[in-house]
Amino acid sequence: MDMQAAEPVSLSVRLRHWAGAGRHALAATARLVLDVALPTLCVSCREPVCGQGLCPACWSKLSFIAPPYCTRLGIPFVYDPGPGLLSMEAIAAPPAYSRARAAVRFDDTSRTMVHALKYHDRTDLAPPMGRWMARAGDELLRDADILVPVPLHWKRGWSRRYNQSAALAKIIAAQSGVPMLADALRRIRSTEQQVGLSRSERARNVQGAFAVPTDRRGQIHGRRVILIDDVLTSGATVESCARALLRARAAAVDVLVFARVVDAFKPPI
């Protein structure tokens, strides 16, 4: 009886699967036709562009970060204080990671790019963003053994299934020759639970949010790692990731992001 009951179910499942595969093929064809027929639009102003995510006018609005900056945090200085000087932030609250670098300042234009990559399937933005990051992180990449993207929150990963940090890391790996280890970090705790916690409770909570899985520890031990993320705001996420990597005996951890928040041009001390 059970066998007889099971057969039609299995057949209908198979038929649905075939129908689904047909739909996917049709959708892929439709996308191809659209890609050929419609030019890519600038993510910022919606003007048609050739191959790149930003039109020349919006590209020129991006605020690229270049020296002089704090050698530790990559925060730009208004004037060149000479080599090796640190920002006030780096001295007041030294992070667990060694150095951070960012391609651009986080502003309206870079925010548009980050959001388009993250939420609107503009995967065509990853190559230029990744190349700019590789250039900004050139000094770090020369010392690095491995690239590790910040993992998605499992809830967000479930709904979106696209890790923008991994997409950027892939481009940087191809650009620099430094290999990426995509699953070296795992989010083991929801960081959303931080709402309502005190400052010290938050730090503790975020610190325990990431871990290196046991079967990846051997690939982290003794390695110089660069953490890859799209945006650096308060730095709590990369700090937490860096601590997890250092607990797994990484030799050093640097941070490379596409955009970072820069409050103002801070004078060096």
Q: Give dist(CA 154, CA 104) in Å, integer.
A: 28
Check residue 46 and give left, alpha or beta (phi > 0: left; psi -120 to 50: alpha). left
Least separation, in Å, of the C-beta of 130 and Zn ion? 20
210-211 and 100-105: which strand pairing? unpaired
Q: Closer to Zn ion at the Cβ: 98 or 110?
A: 110
Is residue 76 within 8 A of residue 262, CB to CB? The reply is yes
Residues in the chain: 269
Q: Closer to Zn ion at the Cβ: 59 or 162?
A: 59
Least separation, in Å, of the C-beta of 43 and Zn ion? 8
Least separation, in Å, of the C-beta of 54 and Zn ion? 6
Give φ, ψ of 132 to 5 degrees: -65, -40
Taking residue 48's Cβ as centre, other Cβ atoms within 10 Å add up to 10
Least separation, in Å, of the C-beta of 129 and Zn ion? 15
Q: Closer to Zn ion at the Cβ: 69 or 106?
A: 106
Report the SS3 class of residue 34: helix
Least separation, in Å, of the C-beta of 44 and Zn ion? 4
* Token pair 């299995």: residue: 10
Q: Give dist(CA 9, CA 12) in Å, integer.
A: 5
Interface contacts to Zn ion, rule CB under 5 A: 42, 44-45, 55, 58
Q: Is the peptide bond before 128 cis (omega within 30 degrees of 0)?
A: no
Tell me 66's DSSP state: -
Q: How far is CA 172 from CA 60, 90, 253, in A?
A: 22, 26, 16
Least separation, in Å, of the C-beta of 124 and Zn ion? 14
Q: Closer to Zn ion at the Cβ: 53 or 95?
A: 53
Least separation, in Å, of the C-beta of 57 and Zn ion? 5
Q: Closer to Zn ion at the Cβ: 55 or 146?
A: 55
Q: Closer to Zn ion at the Cβ: 115 or 202?
A: 115
Report the SS3 class of residue 180: strand
Q: Closer to Zn ion at the Cβ: 60 or 214?
A: 60
